[in-house]
Amino acid sequence: MSLDVLNLLLVLLAALGGGRIAARLGYPAILGEIGAGIILGPPLLGLLAFDDGLAVVGKLGVVLLMLYIGLHLDPTDIGRASKAGALAALGGFIVPAALGFGLMILVTQDAVASVFVAVAMGVTSLATKSRILVDLGILNTRVA
């Protein structure tokens, strides 16, 4: 087996295990899945070599997550809660983006990298929050 396939297998098994542990502890599975990636990846243990294959799988995962969330949305609810929903979505993008930008400016002093991280944090936070709402079973409620 090549290193890419082993990395992918390790990521999938770790995400599955982390998701199950989080669900057993009463938390949304996505928290365990993300935690497993952080632990295995460069931020902590560095067990995974970040290569092009893993980057493609990560991008595909974000696309599939957005598709999954879209399949769970009721289009009739979007019209009824358009103002409140738009404000919540805007806040859900701006807060993580601002925090990501601020932290990167403090750490790297590089404005271009900070903007890139801010956009990445804002976009992925919407998908992550949506998945948490699905896991908790409250996506189509007044709270969500």
79 & 35 share domain: no
pLDDT at 57: 75
DSSP 97-124: HHHHHHHHHHHH--HHHHHHHHHHHHHH
Angle at 63 between CA 110 and CA 132, to 5 degrees: 90
Cα(98)–Cα(141) distance, integer angstroms = 28
20 & 85 share domain: no
pLDDT at 5: 75
pLDDT in tens, 103-119: 888 888 888 888 888 88
75 & 125 share domain: yes
79 & 129 share domain: yes
21 & 81 share domain: no
Cα(131)–Cα(69) distance, integer angstroms = 7
Look at the pTM and tell me if it is higher than 0.75.
no
Consecutive H or E run containing 141: none
Percent of the chain with pLDDT over 70: 76
Cα(7)–Cα(96) distance, integer angstroms = 29
pLDDT at 87: 75
In the chain, the number of structural domains is: 2
Q: Is the pLDDT of residue 95 over 70?
A: yes
pLDDT in tens, 13-56: 888 999 999 999 988 888 888 888 878 876 556 666 666 776 77
For residue 109, report the phi and psi dihedrals to the nearest 5 degrees.
Answer: 60, 20
Q: Is the pLDDT of residue 90 over 70?
A: yes
Cα(94)–Cα(76) distance, integer angstroms = 26
Range from 57-61, 69-73, 77-81 carrying the lowest mean pLDDT: 77-81
Angle at 94 between CA 36 and CA 54, to 5 degrees: 30
